[in-house]
Amino acid sequence: MEATIYHNSRCSKCRSSLALLNENGIDPEIINYLDNPPTQAELKHLLQLLGKQPQDVIRFNEGVAKDLGLSAKDDRSADEWIKLMITNPVLIERPIVVIDDKAVLGRPPENILSII
């Protein structure tokens, strides 16, 4: 089983999700996405695994989103949303957990149990 968590150590949901993985015997690769944001191709792949559109995983309440005047109703292409997330990784909802060919948002952390 291959597992990865896109993680922010300051986030309680990320820490809880990592603990839940560990409790279930899973030692995932930890990617601090704020320091190492996913590439455009990686983010597209994550979105495909999640079954979500880019604006579905944007943290619109973040200060950066407000500073940029972002809204879920903005008329942007998927590529434009993805570029915004790569440039401003704090906008990416967290944590994202990938196990083999399945992915889920760990909000709440118990969502992870659905792919273990």
Secondary structure of 5-27 in HEC code, one letter for each residue = EEECCCCHHHHHHHHHHHHCCCC
Beta bridge partners of 103: 98
DSSP state of 36: S
Please state at what angle helix 78-87 crosses helix 40-50, rounded to 10 degrees: 120
Closest CA to 5 of 25, 24, 26: 26
* Catalytic status, residue 14: no
**Catalytic member of 4, 11, 30, 116:** 11
Would you name the residues annotated as active-site residues? Answer: 11
